[in-house]
Amino acid sequence: MHAARVERRARVGPASRAVLTVAVACLAVAAGIAQAAGAGLPSAAAPIALDVGHSIASQGAISARGVAEFEFNRALAIEIDARLRADGHATLLIAAEGRTEDLISRPRKAQAAGARLLISVHHDSARARFLEDWVHEGVARKFLDDRFRGFSLFISRQNPAWRRALECASAIGERMIGAGFVPSRHHADPHLGAGREYADERHGVHFFDNLAVLRHAVMPALLFEAGVIVNRDEELLLARADTRARIADAVALAQPACVAAR
């Protein structure tokens, strides 16, 4: 979990905003990415916004085998995007170009597009003191043991639509469990994690009120940690295309609950 870093990175200067403007322009012209931009859309046509966590310059966690979290996030968000579009949903991919260095622009971009839901896609780590050393292909790497595994979902009570976000997050968690994934335990643990309060323990949903990407959203917004890439076994699972497809299925199959929650 890189929420603390995420919060700190919320404070950006004009230079970052200039970069962002370019990045947004690139995103808008990228083929097939912006599906239904523009406010005032009827709700059925309003897009589901998928935010790719982190960026090329600030890549989030580093997996047990040295792969950046941003790469995992982008691959999974693209898979979820394709799956949702196959189901007839409009979508909006945010920050897939990898040059979005701030956080607040992400929910604002979703709002500008009239999005009815924002899902920020991430992969998980844990506090540095739990990292252990190993060597993979001749390179010194860090890993986490099996106390750190599983998916996690986060919502913020500072998001005005958090109750609707909770219904959606619970539905995604339920579908993930149905697909054989397990919810994490470490975020709720005061020693292993931050003692995060559960919003829905059974389905792996936690409260994380200060998370910038959620609290600046006006639509239901949730942050989805698909799994722990610093766990060596879970990294191998999460790197597989068929795993991404199963996760995308779980998100797509939960959408009736997300739509009903509107």
Query: Which residues of this protein are in contact with Zn ion, per CB under 5 A?
Result: 2, 53, 60, 122
Shortest distance in whole angstroms from residue 120 CB to Zn ion: 8
Of 60 and 183, CB closest to Zn ion: 60
Shortest distance in whole angstroms from residue 209 CB to Zn ion: 17
Reduce the DSSP state of residue 175 to 3 states and report it: helix
Contact (CB, 8 A) for 214 and 142:
no
Contact (CB, 8 A) for 204 and 183:
yes
Q: What residues have CB less than 8 Å from 163, skipping those under 6 apart? A: 261
Residue with tokens 């739990």: 130
Of 107 and 114, CB closest to Zn ion: 107
Contact (CB, 8 A) for 67 and 238:
no
Closest C-alpha to 175, from 87, 259, 248, 84: 248
Of 5 and 11, CB closest to Zn ion: 5
Type of residue found at 35 = Q
Q: How far apart are CA 168 and CA 98, in angstroms?
A: 26
Of 60 and 114, CB closest to Zn ion: 60
Shortest distance in whole angstroms from residue 122 CB to Zn ion: 4
Of 53 and 183, CB closest to Zn ion: 53
Q: How far apart are CA 100 and CA 176, in angstroms?
A: 28
Shortest distance in whole angstroms from residue 3 CB to Zn ion: 8
Contact (CB, 8 A) for 184 and 154:
no
Of 34 and 205, CB closest to Zn ion: 205
Closest C-alpha to 257, from 165, 181, 178: 165
Shortest distance in whole angstroms from residue 54 CB to Zn ion: 6
Backbone angles phi, psi at 169, to 5 degrees: -60, -40
Shortest distance in whole angstroms from residue 41 CB to Zn ion: 29
